[in-house]
Chains A and B, each alone.
Chain A
């Protein structure tokens, strides 16, 4: 594997290169929160924080999602000890849905450096799909689903209408499961 190196203000990767300013803009454009948590469990990088109280060098144990999801500690341990290289979880905080992905980062000697925690607010995506119900069922699964969400902005209203058009069939010949009628009283 070709080594990554920096020359002048350019980062040279295996499959391309980026100027540092380009990398900064690329990170800024990401549509989710990114944290880098070092091997000691301290936050070393914060991009688009969902929790405004998040601070550099703060221990991840004081982070919103850590409190909300006690399993986070277990995830970090698994990544640290090489049991997993990537873990994904969906969770609900108050009325908002989030998809969290933890990705282990190793150096060229396979020494664990820490992990990236990517947290995306997917409430809007859930709303778009709620009438189909299949995202809800993903949340019920105990295994990690490979979420493949679309990030580009689909106009929620037209998108919802399209989904509904597909889901609602007014003229079925089936027997009914229940009947809606005007209240007797």
Chain B
């Protein structure tokens, strides 16, 4: 049996698992952790001195000079937000108000939601090379939660390549990136499980055989709450300010880059009927598996 070397730690508000298949490759664990810490300190909205928090505090006042990773990620996030695929990098005020996933999660007053909808316009994210980011309206807040882990996973892949790691698994709390050929199976493909939404974490509903790829899931079964017999989840619709009305439980998207997995999984969660030809235009999309609340499963490839 192929030996497996793993490290587990908490970061990015979730459980990280890194897997390599040679003892020598374990040398990449420590620099990987440092890299994740570095990006968390740049992108987190929960760390008051992160670059994103500094941008948010300066909303409506001034532009902030940021590092190149922050500039690149915000620039990409703005570009994707303007496509109106569902992802909105300026959704921060609504996310903070709903606070889904935390103990004080609650349904905000409808007037408050209406007011906050005026503070989430991605057009008002200002980017100016080199490395200046600003929010043009007071109260605006960036939230890169829907894209940052993908970006970080891709940078970890670069780091692993620099260390000569040819095969492994980067698992950032369910956001997977498999590297190289799988040494675990004769056909060198990976077996990627899709979390069963109705069972405890770690139980797969389906297992997909894939070459090296990223697997990112957008789903409503992890972060949600019930109030007055109503179910509310964390995927907020930037058009209404309320959790997206959906028949989906989750969608898992397979792409060649993890950041595109994040983008496409949100896009498909909002628009499950997106034509496969449309998805394949950008050449990142490989396949998707939809899991519906009525337990139906649909495959797109």
Contacts and interface: CB of A to CB of B under 8 A. Distances in A.
B221 A176 contact: no
Contacts of A74: none
A179 interface: yes
B208 A172 contact: yes
A5 to B, nearest CB: 51
Given A170-B301, A176-B207, A177-B191, A185 B13 contact: yes
B287 A168 contact: yes
Interface string B8-40: 000001110101000000000000000000000
B221 A182 contact: yes
Chain A interface SS verdict (over half)? mixed
Residue with the greatest number of chain B CB neighbours at <10 A, chosen from A127, A161, A181: A181
B178 A178 contact: yes
A131 B252 CA distance: 18
A160 B283 CA distance: 9
B289 A177 contact: no
A108 interface: no
Nearest to A156: B283
B237 interface: no
Please tell me the size bucket of the interface on A. 20 to 34
B207 A168 contact: no
B142 interface: no
Contacts of B215: 180
A133 B175 contact: no
Please tell me the size bucket of the interface on B. 35 or more
A169 B299 CA distance: 10
A170 B209 CA distance: 6
A26 interface: no
Contact of A183 (B19, B189, B222, B252): B222
Nearest to B223: A185
B275 to A, nearest CB: 13
Given A170-B301, A182-B222, A176 B254 contact: no
A137 B181 contact: yes
Given A176-B207, A185-B13, A133 B19 contact: no
Contacts, number: 141
Interface in B136-150: 149
A137 to B, nearest CB: 7
B217 A185 contact: no
A185 B301 CA distance: 28
A74 B195 CA distance: 54
A167 to B, nearest CB: 5
A177 B181 CA distance: 12
Contacts of B287: 164, 168, 170
A182 B208 contact: no
Contacts of B252: 180
Nearest to B254: A168
B4 to A, nearest CB: 9
A174 interface: yes
Interface of B: 13-15, 17, 19, 101, 149, 166, 169, 171, 173-176, 178, 180-182, 184-185, 188-195, 197, 201-204, 206-213, 215-223, 250, 252, 254, 256, 280, 283, 286-287, 289, 299, 301
Interface of A: 127, 130-133, 136-137, 140, 157, 160-161, 164-165, 167-185
Given A160-B283, A181-B217, 20 more contacts: A127-B283, A132-B211, A133-B188, A137-B181, A157-B280, A164-B286, A168-B209, A168-B210, A168-B286, A168-B301, A170-B209, A172-B208, A175-B207, A176-B204, A178-B169, A179-B193, A180-B192, A182-B195, A184-B101, A185-B223
